[in-house]
Structure 1
Amino acid sequence: MAIHKLFIASVLVSVLLLQVGQADQMVPNRSGLHLCCADCGGACVARCQRSSRPHLCQRACRTCCARCNCVPPGTSGNLDACPCYANMTTRDDKRKCP
Structure 2
Amino acid sequence: MAKFSWLNYAFILFFAMAFVTQLVSAGGEGSLHPGECGNACDYRCSKTQHKKPCLFFCNKCCQKCLCVPSGTYGHKEECPCYNKWMTKRGTPKCP
> Is the Cα contact below 8 Å between 1:32 and 1:73 reproduced in 2?
no
C-alpha root-mean-square deviation of aligned residues, in Å? 2.2
The Cα of 1:38 is off from its aligned counterpart by 1.3
* Partner Cα distance (1:66, 1:94) in 2: 19
| Aligned partner (choices 27, 31, 35) of residue 32 of structure 2 | 35
Q: Structure 2 unaligned segments of length 5 or more: list them.
A: 1-21
Q: Structure 1 unaligned segments of length 5 or more: list them.
A: 1-24
Q: What CA deviation, in whole Å up to 9, does each residue of 1:19-47 have, x standing for no partner? A: xxxxxx9xx92x58852221111000000
- Any idea what SS the aligned residue of 2:69 has? coil
Report the equivalent of 1:64: 61
Sequence identity percentage: 39
Q: What CA deviation, in whole Å up to 9, does each residue of 1:48-78 have, x standing for no partner? A: 0011111110000000000101101100111
* Partner Cα distance (1:54, 1:32) in 2: 24
Number of residue pairs aligned between Structure 1 and Structure 2: 71
Report the equivalent of 2:94: 97
> Is the Cα contact below 8 Å between 1:37 and 1:70 reproduced in 2?
no
| Aligned partner (choices 72, 76, 84) of residue 87 of structure 1 | 84
Q: Larger relative contact order (C-alpha < 8 A, sep ≥ 6)? A: 2
Report the equivalent of 1:20: none
* Partner Cα distance (1:32, 1:63) in 2: 17
- TM-score, structure 2 length as denominator? 0.67
> Is the Cα contact below 8 Å between 1:47 and 1:76 reproduced in 2?
yes
